[in-house]
Amino acid sequence: MKKGIKWVIILGVVATAGYLLYTKMIKPEEQVLPIEPPQVIPFEVTQETVINFVQVKGKSRYDQETLVYAPFASKVTKWKVENGGQVKKGDVLFTLDQTALKNEIKTAEATIHKAELEAELNTFVSQQDEEAAAMGATEAERLKALAAQETARLSNELNKVSAEIQAQELSDKRTKLNTAIVHAPATGIFLFDTESEKAQAVTDNQYIGKIVDLNKLEFIALVGEQDIFRIKQGMEVAVKMTAQKDLQLKGKVKKVSKFATTTAGQNNSTSQVPQFEVVISLQPDEHLIGGLSLSGEIETVRKEKATVVPSMAVTREGELAFVTLDKGNGQYERIEIKTGLETSDKTEVLTGLKPGDVVVLQ
């Protein structure tokens, strides 16, 4: 009896071990899991305003700058203007020493008077020689008298030309003398040139400074050849100041250059990249001064009530554009659309969709 129980136990152990070995060595059939629908991101087709921009960078500059120069070389006897000071048209800016110029005028007057006396003397001598020749002089004496007369005539002509030149120079010096007191040619803020600020002496036609109108500034920007034909005079510009990014300024395109300048390329300093200057007028603002770094967005195209979708929902194959339309109840259809204006994140749909439709990104 005991021997039978023992064999039953042994057979049970063998059977269990065989089953375990079978389950490890032989792979059971894989279970079929339910297929989950693909994840999609829906986008609603909307109707809104589409605006295209050209982004530009540059600096502010005073629209009206009246340059001031020294009228002649001289010592400065008095400065009556301060750097950054307000001046009105006609105000005295500075006064030049007139002593040297007055001496030059006196010298020129004396030279001209001397030339006039010499001309009179030559004329008198010529007349005397002519009279002597007429009183029965020999043939040789008459020829000598005629040569002296001709010499005197040529000398008088040269003296006349010289006198005209000297008279013109004298007139110029007298005109300069009237400019020794320099007046402001315009109303605004006076800004000295660094090297000329209250100098003790100036040279002829030396640049002294400029008078600017703080209420009239412009934005000078450079754009590439890809954008220049999109920009037209009168376009609106949203302007930001680098130093105060929260400050919103408004401007308008005043002038578009038709001639290119060249700047060094970013990756190759020897390559020349054509750039075109765009002048943008700015509305007055208390924070605006000349020389500030500015950036702007020139509005090139605006379309109201345009049907648009996010650009990321549009796929392209060559010149064709497609979207996946949500037809409801988990049904999707890939359809072709015709596109219009495009911005950085929106694409206008001309045909194929209407506001309220839903497209998906799979």
| Structure-model confidence comparison of residues 222 and 140, the more confident one | 222
Residues 220 and 251 in one domain: yes
Note whether residue 308 is domain-resident: yes
pLDDT at 19 over 50: yes
| Structure-model confidence comparison of residues 58 and 20, the more confident one | 58
Q: How many domains does the chain have?
A: 4
What pLDDT digit, counting tens, does each position of 108-117 carry? Answer: 888 877 777 7
Note whether residue 327 is domain-resident: yes
Residues 189 and 89 in one domain: yes
Q: Which helix (H) or strand (E) holds 165?
A: helix 139-177
Among candidate residues 219, 228, 226, the one with its CA nearest the CA of residue 276: 228
Residues 226 and 283 in one domain: yes
**pLDDT number for residue 261:** 82
In sequence order, what are the residues at sequence separation of 6 or more whose Cβ sits closer than 8 angstroms to the Cβ of residue 309?
Answer: 43, 45, 46, 323, 346, 347, 349, 353, 359
Note whether residue 28 is domain-resident: no
Note whether residue 19 is domain-resident: no
Among candidate residues 248, 261, 327, 316, the one with its CA nearest the CA of residue 288: 248
Residues 199 and 92 in one domain: yes
* Residues 68, 89 contacting (CB under 8 angstroms): no
Question: What burial class does residue 91 get, using C-beta atoms within 10 Å of its C-beta: 0-12 exposed, 13-18 middle, 19+ buried?
Answer: middle
Annotate 332-356 with b (16+ C-beta within 10 A) or e (fewer). beeeebebebeeeebbbbeebbeee
What pLDDT digit, counting tens, does each position of 122-162 carry? Answer: 666 666 655 555 555 666 666 666 666 667 666 767 767 77
pTM exceeding 0.75:
no
Residues 164 and 228 in one domain: no
Residues 262 and 316 in one domain: no
pLDDT confidence band for 67 (50 / 70 / 90) = very high
Neighbours of 162 (CB within 10 A): 13
What pLDDT digit, counting tens, does each position of 179-217 carry? Answer: 899 999 999 999 999 878 899 999 999 999 999 988 889
Note whether residue 259 is domain-resident: yes
**Of 286, 302, 318, which closes a domain?**
302
What pLDDT digit, counting tens, does each position of 27-61 carry? Answer: 555 555 555 556 778 999 999 999 889 999 999 99
**Token pair listed for 128:** 């005397």
Percent share of the chain, pLDDT over 90 = 46
Which domain range does residue 347 map to? 42-50+303-361
CA dist., res. 218 & res. 59, Å (int): 8
- Give SS3 for 293: strand
The distance in angstroms from the start CA to the end CA of the chain is 73
Angle at 71 between CA 67 and CA 72, to 5 degrees: 140
In sequence order, what are the residues at sequence separation of 6 or more whose Cβ sits closer than 8 angstroms to the Cβ of residue 89?
Answer: 183, 184, 185, 186, 187
* CATH number of the domain within which 311 lies: 2.40.420.20
* Residues 212, 64 contacting (CB under 8 angstroms): yes
